[in-house]
Amino acid sequence: MHAAPLVALVGNPNAGKSALFNALTGARQKVGNYPGVTVERHAGRFVLDDGRPVELVDLPGAYSLEPSSPDERVTRDVVTGAGDYERLPDALLVVVDAANLDNHLRFAMQLIALGLPVVVALNMVDLAERDGLTLDAGVLARELGVPVIPTVAVRKRGLDELRAALTGAVGGGGVKLLRPSDGSIDDDIVTLQRRARALSAAATVSETAGRRWSHALDAVALHPVLGPLLLLALLFVMFQAVFSWSEAPVGWIENGFAAIEGRVAGAMPDGWLRSLLTDGVIAGVGAVVVFLPQILILFFFILILEQTGYMVRAAFLMDRLMAHVGLSGRAFIPLLSSFACAVPGIMSTRTIEDEKDRLTTILIAPLMTCSARLPVYTIVIGAFIPATKVGGVIGLQGLVLFGLYVMGILGAFVAALVLRRTVTKGESSGFMMEMPKYQWPRLADVVLGLRSRAAVFLKRAGTTIALTTIVLWALLSFPQAPKDGGVSQVDYSIAGRIANGLEVAVRPIGFNRDIALALIPAMAAREVAVAAIGTVYAIDDTESGRGQGAMIRQLQSRWTLPTALAFLMWFVFAPQCISTIAVTRRETNGWKWPLFMVGYLFAAAYVMAGITYWLALAAGL
Amino acid sequence: MDMSRRVIPALSLETLPRRHHATVAAIDWAQLAAPEARRLRELGFDEGVDVEVLHRATLGRGPIACRIGRMTVALRRAVAGAIHVQLDALPAK
């Protein structure tokens, strides 16, 4: 039996491909990965007019069939039937931006020349009209020799006509053979481009200047003075919101976990199982899930900035600064995402064409203060930095937190500067980007994006983090210390004995045994450090109660200020995140770079924490 | 100095004043790295194309945002300098 016919959605970046894909397939879509490459595969289904189901796959946006990034390579290989990412499509649905035919028609012509049945979606005709551009789809269809359907994907206009055209294009099943390659793929871009321009001119009925509201917005967003100020203001609002908006939901989650813990504790007899569930699993997972609101708020802003088209403007504004350290404005987008989490940040470096540039960005991405560090920072700052005001306005605690973010950014810049002169030495990369028109963000797409982030985070909290806290709990609880031996349970446990050994290595930078203990499970994920410290102290001292207040009291009685500061500095640099290391291995195709990354970051963490500790001691803190 | 060989400094996209329509006269491909040159072609840069400088980033030597056809493209000054242009007529506005 034959599978459903395959239709591939192809087009330039910014042609509105994804919007059309969502409009055609609705909720029936799957996001996966192409084998061997870290390119996302979006596939969905819809039904043709004659009742046949069709599989639609949304290929990465490309400018031509000559790939210059892994994404574009997948697109080229699928439409030419090379590689084994996908079977040869039965038809291509080529999306072009009606307002940018000059450029998009060239790629469309290249695709049509491949010989597969093609339907062209002349997308975003409404925006083109608003721009004062009237087009004749009939002329285009005649000249291109394929159906051309005007559409407005975001408003679901033209979809019926598109389905009808595809019903005709997707013939009697069976995969068609490509026309023997006559070198048309290698056709000179310039020649094709000229033909595209001529065709675009022929199809243009009228063209006036129209309302160029994108240009009006850019007059502010890209203004030499106002632009950077606006960017700073946006970043400020974003980080402010991460903290202020999250207060209430964080409270709900804390109360929820406290309630669950109380329920479990009340329903079970005292014993090791109850201790495992309350001290290990619930306390550990709860300490991490609390940060879900902050992560979602951060991603909310990043998704909005991306969808509106502002992110490219930010890259434009940042290019000069990034050029100073040998990077380009393009690196700004992955680095900003890394403030939420380095994993999607590192994955989004795929849009950077220059290999050295991309590698450098990957290597410094973990230095951006990700949301997993927040639990650690929040607790330690809460315990050691007084909540006083500096100059009567700025909170000292907030200032220290801001300082930690700045340390990360400075560290990243210094690292980039050094890396670009040593291991990733090479020609300075360029910066050339199409700036898409501004668009209203689509709520449905934002919700979809947030939902998948939340799922990934909760899965991590539920598996990796739960597991490491259980293991740590076990290592801490066994063997049981004798009741009257005068030796604490932590010291007597397996974990305590390991940590006592490790302590020798970290004592010079001011770390004590408890910290050494917390650093081991925190290799899995930074936020586990908090859960681990919580577990250590919950086991050692059962009368002081639960929650952040109790943990803060514990920290104050056991750590000195220089130790706390060194601990904060350690987490600015330390690459304690299995997911980041794994994604770096995947994105760089091997162990060389992730190992290098781990090595240089641990070295930096050790040195910087040490310097902080000794400076703090010298200053008499 | 040989005065007879002195040429009028040609205008490039780097030096073109903002908001002036211009036509690409020639592109010095040899001055560009191969991938850069290809991307430039893919974005539609070619002799005879209508261009306009829209914005210059940040005081100093930041990149340039220019309009080509109906598209806005950001590029660095070094690349813009390789794109020689001819002023069309009077200011766009």
pLDDT digits (tens, 9 = 90+) for A155-188: 888 999 999 999 888 875 444 545 444 444 445 6
Q: A14 pLDDT exceeds 50?
A: yes
Mean pLDDT computed over every residue of chain B: 81
A149-158: per-residue pLDDT in tens?
999 988 888 9
The reply to whether A214 falls in a domain is no
Whole-number pLDDT of residue A95: 95
Give the distance from residue A158's alpha carbon to the nearest chain B alpha carbon, in angstroms. Answer: 23
Phi, psi for A108 (deg, rounded to 5):
-60, -40
Residue by residue, DSSP assigns A357-372 as HHHHHHHHGGGS--TT
For A25, A43, A184, A509, B10, the CA distances from A71, given in Å and listed in that order, are: 22, 15, 22, 44, 39
A358: its two tokens: 């991309």
My answer on whether A118 and A262 are in the same domain is: no
- Chain B residues with beta carbon closer than 8 angstroms to that of A427: 33
My answer on whether A303 and A190 are in the same domain is: no
My answer on whether A185 and A235 are in the same domain is: no
3-state secondary structure A251-314: HHHHHHHHHHHHHHHHHCCCCHHHHHHHHHHHHHHHHHHCCHHHHHHHHHHHHHHHHHCHHHHH
My answer on whether A282 and A160 are in the same domain is: no
My answer on whether A502 and A594 are in the same domain is: yes
- Chain B residues with beta carbon closer than 8 angstroms to that of A353: 35, 39
Residue by residue, DSSP assigns A397-411 as HHHHHHHHHHHHHHH
Handedness of CA B54, A441, A240, A574 (dihedral sign): negative
Mean pLDDT of B29-58: 85
My answer on whether A153 and A256 are in the same domain is: no
**Number of neighbouring beta carbons within 10 Å of residue A316:** 29
Least confidently predicted of A39-43, A261-265, A555-559: A39-43
The CB-side HSE value for A168 (13 A sphere, CA atoms) comes to 11
- Please identify which residue in the block is written with the tokens 């996966």: A32
Q: B80 pLDDT exceeds 60?
A: yes
Whether the Cβ atoms of residue A233 and residue A223 lie closer than 8 Å to each other? no
Residue with more model confidence, A228 or A520: A228
Note which residues in 572-601 of chain A have CB less than 8 A from chain B.
Answer: none
Q: A412 pLDDT exceeds 50?
A: yes
My answer on whether A86 and A130 are in the same domain is: yes
Whether the Cβ atoms of residue A118 and residue A142 lie closer than 8 Å to each other? no
| Residues spanned by the domain of A158 | 6-207
Mean pLDDT of B40-67: 85
Last residue of a domain, one of A179, A207, A235: A207
Q: Which residues contact A111 (CB under 8 A, 6 or more apart)?
A: A10, A65, A79, A92, A94, A118
My answer on whether A243 and A108 are in the same domain is: no
Judge if pTM exceeds 0.90.
Answer: no
My answer on whether A180 and A298 are in the same domain is: no
- Chain B residues with beta carbon closer than 8 angstroms to that of A100: 69-71
A533: its two tokens: 């410290």
Whole-number pLDDT of residue B4: 47
My answer on whether A167 and A253 are in the same domain is: no
The reply to whether A522 falls in a domain is yes
For A316, A373, A463, A469, A560, the CA distances from A528, given in Å and listed in that order, are: 37, 10, 12, 7, 21
Give the distance from residue B67's alpha carbon to the nearest chain A alpha carbon, in angstroms. Answer: 10
Which of the given ranges, A172-186, A191-205, A217-231, A234-248, has the highest pLDDT on average? A217-231
My answer on whether A58 and A173 are in the same domain is: yes
ipTM of the complex: 0.86
Closest CA to A335 of A305, A311, A361: A361
Contact: A320, B61; criterion CB under 8 Å: yes
- Chain B residues with beta carbon closer than 8 angstroms to that of A431: 63, 74-76
Which of the given ranges, A64-73, A186-195, A412-421, A531-540, has the highest pLDDT on average? A412-421
For A358, A360, A482, the CA distances from A167, given in Å and listed in that order, are: 42, 47, 78
DSSP class of residue A525? Answer: B
Counted residue by residue, chain B has a size of 93
Domain count, chain A: 2
The reply to whether A216 falls in a domain is no
**A249 touching B (Cβ < 8 Å):** no
